[in-house]
């Protein structure tokens, strides 16, 4: 795409981090300027920035902000580890968060013995590299997914794995944008994605901005849309892929996968290789973040349930590998048996 048809989610100004406040979309386009790792932690936790790749990019810059003012080398190394551990605690499910922080730390470790200014520069350089690589990586994911699609298809997606969740193109939505470039007529059904409505506020917004034929549906309408024969593929993103192919994604993804299996519809997961976690054997070991009860009791400031009601509000669920047709990364397409395929894929 010559021009990204939506606001960028993460911007490095040269001195500080600027994040699109995705809580305000689609009504307002508001950017927040962040100068400290504490501000970055809060932005990640409160969903100012969301989507695994974008979280990782923001955290890498947050790590730089945390060490930028350190004045001696001993304090630098102590601060680097402390800030990385702190930022990593913001959201436990998205593996890109820990991946990005670890990548920056390992890169800087290679510079041990260099002057302090060079160590600081190495932190920023690696954060910028992660940021720059993401756009190209997502485009390649889109190109690989496009080989599984054809003109005239109906595609259902859940949550937002688009440009707003990454540096530019998105993961699950990347093939949609590439299909648009080719002149294909792709019809997208976007689940609203309760309770924070990322599908309604973000996916519907950015696809509409790009001129894509998109229809917004409530989460509990997905089965009916499939039964009507309007959906020929489901494409979702992911926050973590376990070694056996189980996938953690926004709550509600598991239900969509079961429905797709029942209706004979292929279920594709768009995943940067950085989201593959070979150290986690299966989805049972993936930590699942639970969000505040207020998101359900009084979402967006309007109370819709009794104040004292008990609430279960996991941010993610795990889709077992048996429901997944293929996992598509920037390197290629992985099919069952996933355990072997993922290992070979990561080692490429």
Cα dist from 280 to 236, 240, 286, 293, 334, whole Å: 20, 9, 7, 28, 18
Q: What is the pLDDT along the chain (348 residues), one digit of tens a residue?
A: 556 667 889 999 999 999 999 999 999 999 999 999 999 999 999 999 998 899 999 999 999 999 999 999 999 999 999 999 999 999 988 788 999 999 999 999 999 999 999 999 999 999 999 999 998 999 999 999 999 999 999 999 999 999 998 988 899 999 999 999 999 999 999 999 999 999 999 999 999 999 999 999 999 999 999 999 999 999 999 999 999 999 999 999 999 999 999 999 999 999 999 899 999 999 999 999 999 999 999 999 999 999 999 999 999 999 999 999 999 999 999 999 999 999 999 998
Residue in the block written with tokens 């920023």? 124
Q: What is the pLDDT of residue 158?
A: 98
Q: What is the pLDDT of residue 2?
A: 53
Query: What span, in angstroms and rounded, lies between the C-alpha atoms of 165 and 168?
Result: 8
Q: What is the pLDDT of residue 3?
A: 61
Q: If phi over 0 gives left and psi between -120 and 50 gives alpha, with beta otherwise, what is residue 193?
A: left
Q: What is the pLDDT of residue 223?
A: 98
Q: Is the peptide bond before 242 cis (omega within 30 degrees of 0)?
A: no
Q: What CATH class has 10-137?
A: mainly alpha
Asked if residue 277 lies in contact with residue 243, where contact means CB atoms within 8 angstroms, the answer is yes
Catalytic hit among 134, 219, 239, 317: 239
In this structure, the strands spanning 233-236 and 240-242 are unpaired
Asked if residue 249 lies in contact with residue 317, where contact means CB atoms within 8 angstroms, the answer is yes
CATH of 139-346, one of 3.40.50.10470, 3.90.1150.10, 3.40.50.80, 3.30.565.10: 3.40.50.10470
Domain boundaries defined on the chain? 10-137, 139-346
- Provide DSSP, 21-41: -TTSTTT---EEEE-SHHHHH
For the question of residue 239 being annotated catalytic, the response is yes
User: Residue 328: helix, strand or coil by DSSP?
Assistant: strand
Closest by CA position to 142, among listed 318, 328, 347: 328
CA pseudo-torsion sign 133, 134, 139, 145: positive
Closest by CA position to 190, among listed 217, 170, 228, 221: 217
Asked if residue 122 lies in contact with residue 108, where contact means CB atoms within 8 angstroms, the answer is yes
Asked if residue 324 lies in contact with residue 267, where contact means CB atoms within 8 angstroms, the answer is yes
Could you tell me which residues are annotated as the binding site? 50-52, 91, 198, 249-250
Alpha helix positions (H), the chain = 37-45, 52-67, 73-88, 95-109, 116-146, 174-182, 198, 204-209, 222-227, 253-262, 294-297, 338-346
Closest by CA position to 291, among listed 314, 325, 265: 314
Closest by CA position to 64, among listed 131, 122, 19: 122
Could you tell me which residues are annotated as the binding site for substrate? 50-52, 91, 198, 249-250
Q: Is the peptide bond before 142 cis (omega within 30 degrees of 0)?
A: no
CB-CB neighbours of 344 under 10 Å? 10
State the distance between the two ends of the chain, measured CA to CA, in whole angstroms. Answer: 28
Query: What span, in angstroms and rounded, lies between the C-alpha atoms of 149 and 105?
Result: 39
């Amino acid at each position: 795409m010559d021009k990204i048809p939506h606001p960028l989610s993460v911007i490095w100004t040269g001195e500080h981090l600027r994040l699109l406040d995705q809580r305000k979309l689609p009504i307002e386009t508001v950017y927040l300027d962040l100068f400290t790792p504490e501000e970055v932690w809060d932005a990640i936790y409160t969903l100012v920035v969301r989507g695994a790749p974008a979280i990782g990019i923001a955290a890498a810059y947050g790590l730089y902000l945390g060490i930028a003012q350190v004045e001696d080398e001993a304090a630098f190394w102590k601060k680097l580890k402390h800030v990385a551990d702190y930022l990593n605690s913001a959201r436990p499910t998205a593996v890109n968060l820990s991946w990005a922080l670890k990548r920056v730390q390992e890169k800087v470790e290679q510079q041990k013995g260099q002057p302090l200014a060079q160590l600081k520069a190495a932190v920023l350089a690696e954060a910028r590299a992660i940021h720059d690589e993401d756009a190209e990586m997502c485009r390649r994911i889109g190109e690989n997914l496009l080989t599984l699609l054809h003109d005239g298809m109906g595609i259902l997606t859940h949550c937002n794995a688009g440009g707003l969740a990454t540096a530019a193109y998105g993961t699950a939505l990347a093939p949609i944008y590439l299909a648009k470039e080719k002149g294909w007529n792709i019809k997208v059904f976007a689940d609203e994605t309760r309770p924070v409505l990322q599908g309604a506020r973000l996916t519907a917004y950015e696809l509409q901005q790009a001129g894509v034929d998109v229809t917004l549906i409530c989460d509990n309408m997905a089965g009916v849309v499939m039964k009507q024969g309007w959906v020929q593929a489901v494409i979702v993103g992911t926050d973590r892929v376990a070694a056996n192919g189980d996938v953690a994604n926004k709550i509600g993804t598991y239900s969509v996968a079961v429905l797709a299996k029942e209706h004979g519809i292929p279920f594709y997961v768009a995943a940067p290789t950085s989201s593959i976690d070979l150290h986690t054997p299966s989805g049972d070991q993936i930590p699942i973040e639970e969000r505040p009860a207020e998101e359900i009791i009084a979402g967006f400031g309007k109370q819709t349930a009794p104040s004292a009601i008990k609430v279960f509000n996991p941010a993610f669920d795990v889709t077992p590998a048996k429901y997944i047709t293929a996992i598509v990364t920037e390197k290629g397409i992985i099919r069952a048996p996933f355990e072997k395929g993922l290992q070979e894929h990561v080692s490429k």
